Amino acid sequence: MRVLRGFVAACAALLLVTGEASAGPAVRAWNPPGHLVQPLGEVWQHVESTYPDLHGFRNYGWDQIMANGGYVNYCVRWDSTAPVSAALRDRIHASLSRQFTKWMAALLDNGQGWESWPYQSVPVKAVGWAVRDRSTLQWTDNSVDVYVNDINENAPQCAADCGRFFHQDGDYSRCPGGAARHYDMSLWLTAGMGGGAGGDWGQRVGSEYFAANLDSENIHIYLHEVGHTFGLDDFYDWTPSGVCCFLMKAGSAGEITEFDKWMFRDWWRHLKPRYGL
């Protein structure tokens, strides 16, 4: 479910690292497989006709990565009373990084950035956890910042002073950990939730679902919601010509397909001029 706050209707790093810049030549041609040209064109026409502020909106996932110089920081909103050990925390972080990287891989050809994409890798780091009760988190190290009982939308959140959603000007002067501990997105894990939601603020899925799939090749609901963070739409009421099954058409695929990859690339080629590329 696409929920880009501020874009559609309102709803719902201790270590500072930058992405590795691509040194290879950029691909300049729009070169999707021939059988995808028409459906891709239909999708972009639909985007242009239905997104109210397509080019004015400045907090897509693209904008967040480019503002950081090639990395993403996360806050984990643990909307559950289930205890979290240090080992489980670290597995969640590792799985989050692996899954997010699947979308970033769609922008590479032979290890080089496609169509001026400047990063061969985009590091993902969880810098904070938000909970109702500190005792839920069963660790004592300071590898992440912990935010306790800061409630928004009936769920714990990391400090607004550290969130890009709240500070799109990049001013994190009031964030206790400074810019290195700011977060761009939230991984909102909610007990008992089925399905998901995604937007410029991050992604929301069931806590039990995510924890049960940490070793899965594809956590497909999360992957679908990340697509929304980068602008990709839902396909509840229509299907582009000649394609049937792809991740952004909920329930029809369990992984990023070739069509998803080229829709993702199409967004990049349309937005990259805002970064002077």
| pLDDT above 60 (res 24) | no
| Every domain of the chain and the residues it spans | 31-272
Residues 43/92, Cβ–Cβ less than 8 Å: no
- pTM of the shown model: 0.91
- Kindly report, residue by residue over 87-136, the tens digit of the pLDDT: 999 999 999 999 999 999 999 999 999 999 999 999 999 999 999 999 99
Distance CA 202, CA 199 (A): 5
Q: Which fold has domain 31-272?
A: Collagenase (Catalytic Domain) (3.40.390)
What are the pLDDT digits (tens) for 144-158?
999 999 999 999 999
Token reading at 77: 């909103």
**Euclidean distance between CA atoms 133 and 183, whole angstroms:** 21
Helix or strand (DSSP H, E) at 201: none
Q: Which pairs from 254-257 meet CB under 8 Å and 24+ separation?
A: 254/218, 254/220, 255/217, 255/218, 255/220, 255/223, 256/102, 256/103, 256/106, 256/218, 256/223
- Which pLDDT score is estimated for 2? 55
pLDDT of residue 29: 75
| Backbone phi, psi, residue 155, to 5° | -150, 150
